[in-house]
Structure 1
Amino acid sequence: MRFDPFREIEELTQRMDRAFGNGIAAQTARLAPPVDVHEDEGGLELTLDLPGVQPADIQIEAENQTLTVQAKRNYTRGEGRTAHRVERAYGTFSRTFSVPAKYDLTKVEAEFDHGTLTLRVPRSEAAQKRTVQVRTGGQLSAPKTVDAAQTTPATSDTPATETQNAEVSQGA
């Protein structure tokens, strides 16, 4: 088994918590669910694992280029039951993500399914790809895509420069 200093530190922290009686309270402070963040041309997608959390106990706030997710997982101990070990994290957590300005936080969508919260943050309109028309000879013409292998013969009526308009994409 390889030496993992982070695991050793975590185990030491857990032993200290148990020794000083901070069992459940200390685990509550460390409750931070794992998250996956993906990006594509449509925007960002954040996926958080929230097992045991009820949808009513999830709060999502989006403002000032930050996205905050808060959730609560309650611990219930039945009457007449003794807890010999409580390792799962309970309580409230808050996780904040900085979101670049090219994403529109006013259009965040959230979906909660089988303990997985998925947040979708679309790109803002200003950051969307768009087509720019190119003027040739002072005239605005419809954009066309020209294949580099394709040759267009010039006629006496139409100069070669006007038949080879190109589509220009401006990326975000």
Structure 2
Amino acid sequence: MMRFDPFREIEELSQRVDRAFGQAAQAPARFAPPVDVHEDEQGLELSLDLPGIQPENISVDAENQTLSVQAERKYIRAEGRTAHRVERVYGTYSRTFSVPAKYDLSKVDANFDNGTLTIKVPRSEAAQKRSISVKSATTLNVEGKTDTENHNA
């Protein structure tokens, strides 16, 4: 038994009307791909789903603490071929992220594998965690000798 989904029925009706009046070839749609953002000591990692997109159709830009991703998946309509159902997403995928200054946008690394774009943004050198040695008056003296020992030597 199939459940009635009024939203699917409305969407299918809308697609039929669009096809009937040729509006499917309007300006391409814009979509925000889903993204996961994780942070660790090394920096940020963003993973975006871009199914069916070729790597050469992906653009990653970094400028003024803003990271932008754009990709395009074109619908190719062959002559003499009738589309009875077009449910996959076609058009422009676009996301923009504001990146805090503690990350270095000049060292962004992007990798595309199996429909997932992974972007790594490292922490800037100034924002890296580092251990600072604590000095005291006794550690400033040569080899742990006291001031009187240093003067007598």
The normalised TM-score by structure 2 is 0.75
CA contact (8 A) 1:27 1:89 kept: no
Rounded to whole Å, the distance in 2 between the matches of 1:102 and 1:129 is: 11
| Deviation for aligned residue 1:93 | 2.4
Corresponding position of 2:150: none
CA offset digits 1:2-37 (Å, max 9, x no partner): xxxxx98x76984785476355658823x2211111
Percentage of matched positions with identical amino acids? 61
| Superposed CA RMSD | 2.9
Corresponding position of 1:87: 87
More helix by share: 2
Amino acid at match of 1:61: D
Rounded to whole Å, the distance in 2 between the matches of 1:12 and 1:96 is: 33
Rounded to whole Å, the distance in 2 between the matches of 1:52 and 1:89 is: 9
- SS of residue matched to 1:76: coil
Rounded to whole Å, the distance in 2 between the matches of 1:32 and 1:137 is: 59
Amino acid at match of 1:28: A
| Structure 2 alignment gaps of length 5 or more | 147-153
Structure 1 ranges of 4+ moved more than 3 A: 10-20, 22-27, 138-141
- SS of residue matched to 2:29: helix
Corresponding position of 2:103: 103
CA contact (8 A) 1:37 1:47 kept: yes
| Deviation for aligned residue 1:95 | 0.8
Rounded to whole Å, the distance in 1 between the matches of 2:140 and 2:86 is: 71
Tell me the matched-pair count.
135
Corresponding position of 1:70: 70
Corresponding position of 1:128: 128
**Larger RCO, structure (CA 8 Å, separation 6 or more):** 2
CA contact (8 A) 1:62 1:105 kept: yes
| Structure 1 alignment gaps of length 5 or more | 1-6, 142-156, 159-172
CA contact (8 A) 2:33 2:94 kept: no
1:45 paired to 2:45? yes
Amino acid at match of 1:85: R
- With 31-40 and 17-26 compared, the bigger mean Cα shift is at 17-26
Rounded to whole Å, the distance in 2 between the matches of 1:105 and 1:61 is: 9
- SS of residue matched to 2:56: helix
Change (3 A) 1:47 1:12: same
Rounded to whole Å, the distance in 1 between the matches of 2:13 and 2:63 is: 38
Corresponding position of 2:151: none
